[in-house]
Chains A and B, each alone.
Chain A
Amino acid sequence: MAIVTVGKKACAVNPLKMSQPIGGAFAFLGLRGSMPLLHGSQGCTSFGLTLFVRHFKEAVPLQTTAMSEVATVLGGYENVEQAILNIHKRTKPEIIGICSTGVTETKGDDVEGYIRLIRQKHPELAAFPMVYVATPDFKDAFQDGWEKTVARMVEVLVEVPKAAARRDPSRVNVLPGCHLTPGDLDEIRTIMEDFGLEPSFLPDLAGSLDGHIPDEFVPTTIGGIGVEEVAVMGQASWTIAIGAQMRRAAEAMEKRTGTPFRLFERLCGLSPNDEFLVFLSEISGRPVPLKYRRQRGQLADAMLDAHFHIGGRKLAIGAEPDLLFDLSSMLHEMGAKVTVAVTTTQSPVLERIKTEEVLIGDLEDLENLAKDRGCDLLITHSHGRQAAERLKIPFYRAGFPMFDRLGAGHQLSVGYRGTRDLIFDIANLVIADHEDNRQPTPDTWRTEGVGAAVDVPAASLH
């Protein structure tokens, strides 16, 4: 059992963490026709926007209430009102998702109250879908913003089913954590559909941020789950939550609609996927398709081939709790030693990470500890690139943001197939590093004193 410690530094160096409001905005990006709106200064939005655009290489809708100094002090009602009216008129969204920021939370703007007033004052907005989430920057992290936002979407957008309504046995809700990529969601969708199930993802980033050529010219999100589809999620037979962060939303769904849920903390690795497929088989009443029996064999074989390279590796990993838990557990199961684990925020999974200590800290901590403990594999998001350069160890990019490589949206970690490819990618990095940097020389095994080159007197040769 790992001990969770919180860093004591006054100055965070090379942050691992990103802020809560953009985690919230990220969740809103998985809704169709959505315009996320950050209630704060314009910089709060533009930094987040740049991160998303660089990660996905896509145009990303994200707006701001553009709070000035004066508006911040006097309260932001007018800015929220104007922003909503402007967005509603100009971009014709199907939903506006609003997150607060550090500035407006310091003042204590009552945005829920503002929205009520705005609905009263503008009849065209009376029933317009708007969801507000309080996400101060000075608390929690990206993953928490996502968690709170999805839970809030369930509370606001999902309709309470009529007492006599029948559940549709084939319909299943999926509440994915923010550590899954659009590619992961598509993989899960395919797996579920192969069992004859009809999954609804909330949020559905695969619909909006999978890097497609759009079919429509709209300034809001293109694709993603529609508000009307969210409304009827209560009729599904089951909810599958992926990642411990989604427990809150799953519980909200159960409380509101009575739909039971099953939480899968991980979908990377052999046993987690065995559990997942057995569950799908149970709820669908169908046997596991041949395709997945074959894929399971492929994953098992990949593990055999890769364990030579991954086994014994000393892993330094920095990631948000659910991604940290998922990847480190899989690599632990492959024989790697989770030697340094750094994360951003508290979570119930942290103490179950297979290591001695999990530190809530930054990339300076990760780098220093990795150096001290002689780690030889680094996993974190793109900001780890400077540390990797200095540590000179193989670096696998995982998580958000990934701005210096292509294909972030399609990187897989779920399912037998996703795990198989991930294992190959990491093993190949290790192999390449071995070829490039760790070739043996005649002196590699020589230690001082033993067999060290000495002048041997010619006479002794006889």
Chain B
Amino acid sequence: MSSLSATIQDVFNEPGCGKNANKSEAERKKGCTKQLQPGGAAGGCAFDGAKIALQPLTDVAHLVHGPIACEGNSWDNRGARSSGSNIWRTGFTTDINETDVVFGGEKRLYKAVKEIIEKYNPPAVFVYQTCVPAMIGDDINAVCKAASQKFGKPVIPVNSPGFVGPKNLGNKLAGEALLEHVIGTEEPDFTTPYDLNIIGEYNLSGELWQVKPLLDELGIRILSCISGDGKYREVAYSHRARAAMMVCSKAMINVARKMEERYGIPFFEGSFYGIEDSSDSLREIARLLIERDAPDELMTRTEAVIAREEAKAWAAIEPYKPRFKGKKVLLITGGVKSWSVVAALQEAGLELVGTSVKKSTREDKERIKELMGQDAHMIDDMTPREMYKMMKDAKADIMLSGGKSQFVALKAGMPWLDINQERSHAYMGYVGMVKLVEEIDKALFNPMWEQLRRPAPWEDSAKNWQARAIAQMDAEAAALAADPVAAEQARRAKKICNCKTVDLGTIEDAIQTHGLTTTEEVKQHTNASGGCGFCSVRIDDILAARQASAAPVMQAAE
């Protein structure tokens, strides 16, 4: 049995991750996870991440071994959809009590598995480890093994207690559990040259079904989706797929890469968000399948479907163009990391503001994506007041972001649309993009806003909180302008790297003192960009700006 810490090290060593490959040996050991700040952290734990990744498997009983908090506070809270079984939505937990904490909870866990199998008879039981039983030393691997033998049914340990790290680590540990215990354990009834795995797609709001009809039409079979609307057996025989698409950024890159390594299944990273990305992904799927001996004509048919769907989508978006003319969107997203959402919104006539997204040439695409990711990252750290100022400065008409900024936007009278995972609408594929445009239209033109923005008749609009906040911030800015020393301090205090809390001044000093010229050197001296790595583009900017301003000085000195 590989220990949990060994598995975590292994996950951190992911060669499929570009960011990781650029790290030094020592840094790789530290892992890719952001150091959590007590009193300043947000987001789920590793258990949460593991559950998110696996819970969409619809016919599996997901049993949480721990005190009531872990399952009682969180069950049935995901928007994934099932076309069949609903057992995944049933909350199972050992709800361990004080006695279990003192004497150990293994017996209770074993009995719990037995009860589930007797009452619900699912094809498999997944057992999730949590912090408390991990601390008291409950060996869930041993219990699962014993239960599996006794009941003749897969009982899969998912070793991802909350305190080992954040959500994204949990996603990967969930992947490891599938790799170790599930994938490759069964065989499909038949295979075809068109068998595809989709990895890291959770079918939230049923969005996979916005794309599936196209795959069906092309004769491409989703052999296994890990894990949206997936079934245990499909995952177990997923090693017989010809190709794989990995969605949802890097959440399950370890699964995609190790399946390539072990079973020779080539994969690509793609997305079905936006028109352009949808087309790219369909092409890429066809290309990989053809490489693995699917007939060449698949590409011709794929291109035909793409052409038809694109034309349909653009035609559906066309009527919105005049309505959207001059409307500005503040787009802050780390979730839907897709440039082609941006492209489609621009195509619909919306102007994007607030982020650094202006150009739409292909060369800028990667860079803009990273900047947008960084902006989304920064918003976690913003006070509501700053967030309001940002909306105001951007003169935006609508804000598209993740759930966290929702209440600030709405309460400031700003139309807002959720584009992260909690959203209730499905936005995938060509139809999804049209849906998104429709939703933006509905939010933008709701007549309610006009009334809500008017102050109460007995209120002085110059004294409402919006005005006060802006006045306060303006006053602060004016004070800074009048005081160059303080202004310089404030400028230097600007945080560049969130993960490692490194400010601009520290970076500038390091560049100055050590004559640094690359982001890598800056990282070595200051640790900036040593966390998630998103801010490396900002460090590039700082270096470029300094070189630009330094060059004439040097010439003058010569």
- A residues adjacent to B (C-beta < 8 A): 9-15, 17-19, 21-22, 37, 40-48, 50-51, 53-54, 58-59, 63-69, 71-73, 78-80, 82-87, 90, 101-103, 106-107, 136-139, 141, 213-219, 383, 386, 403
Contact = CB atoms under 8 A, between A and B. Distances in A.
A387 to B, nearest CB: 10
Nearest to B51: A43
Given A83-B40, A103-B131, A137-B68, 8 more contacts: A12-B93, A19-B67, A64-B38, A79-B38, A103-B135, A106-B136, A139-B98, A217-B385
B39 A12 contact: no
Contacts of B67: 19, 102, 136-138
Contact of B48 (A43, A53, A59, A82): A43
Contacts of B411: 213-214
Interface in B140-167: 161-166
Interface in B334-379: none
5 contacts: A17-B72, A46-B45, A59-B406, A72-B135, A79-B38
Interface string B190-210: 000000000000000000000
B69 A42 contact: no
Interface string B23-52: 000000000000011111111111110000
Given A14-B75, A138-B98, A65 B44 contact: no
Contacts of B403: 53
B392 to A, nearest CB: 12
Interface in B183-235: none
Contact of A19 (B69, B388, B406): B69
Interface string B379-404: 00001110010000000000000010
A267 B37 CA distance: 44
A41 B39 contact: no
B112 interface: yes
A47 B38 contact: no
A90 B40 contact: yes
Interface string B97-114: 110110000001101111
A305 B102 CA distance: 55
The CB with the most chain B CB atoms within 10 A, among A12, A139, A213, is that of: A12
A88 to B, nearest CB: 8
Contact of A11 (B68, B115, B135): B115
Nearest to A88: B39
B70 interface: yes
A28 to B, nearest CB: 15
A220 B388 CA distance: 16
Interface stretch (B83-91, B427-435, B547-555): B83-91
Contacts of A216: 465
Contact of B69 (A11, A37, A44, A87): A44
Contact of A44 (B98, B113, B162): B162
A138 B384 contact: no
Contacts of B385: 217
B94 interface: yes
A37 B39 contact: yes
A138 B75 CA distance: 17
B97 A139 contact: yes
A275 B342 CA distance: 63
A87 B39 CA distance: 6
A251 to B, nearest CB: 25
A369 to B, nearest CB: 15
A268 B128 CA distance: 41
A10 B384 contact: no
Contacts of B131: 40-41, 72, 102-103, 106
A50 B403 CA distance: 11
Given A138-B97, A138-B101, A64 B41 contact: yes
Nearest to A21: B69
B68 A15 contact: yes
Nearest to B109: A10
B501 to A, nearest CB: 11
Interface string B285-309: 0000000000000000000000000
Contacts of A44: 45, 69, 162
A12 B95 contact: yes
Given A15-B95, A138-B132, A217-B384, A386 B76 contact: yes
B71 interface: yes
Contacts of A138: 67-68, 96-98, 100-101, 132
B63 interface: yes
A72 B97 CA distance: 19
B136 A66 contact: no
A450 B406 CA distance: 63
B38 A66 contact: yes
Contacts of B91: 12-15, 383
Contacts of A79: 38
Interface hub of A21, A41, A58 (most chain B Cβ within 10 A): A41
5 shortest A-B CB distances, which residue pairs?
A: A43-B45, A83-B39, A11-B112, A86-B39, A10-B111
Contact of B135 (A37, A68, A106, A217): A106
A18 B162 contact: no
B66 interface: yes
A219 B76 contact: no
A14 B90 contact: yes
Contacts of B161: 69
Contacts of B68: 12, 15, 17-19, 137-138, 141
Given A12-B94, A103-B132, A18 B73 contact: yes
Contacts of A215: 465
Interface in B454-510: 465, 469
B407 interface: yes
B74 interface: yes
B77 interface: yes
B279 to A, nearest CB: 35
B180 to A, nearest CB: 21
A15 to B, nearest CB: 4
A42 B98 contact: no
Given A58-B407, A141-B68, A386 B89 contact: yes
A86 to B, nearest CB: 3
A140 to B, nearest CB: 9
B272 interface: no
A67 B465 contact: no
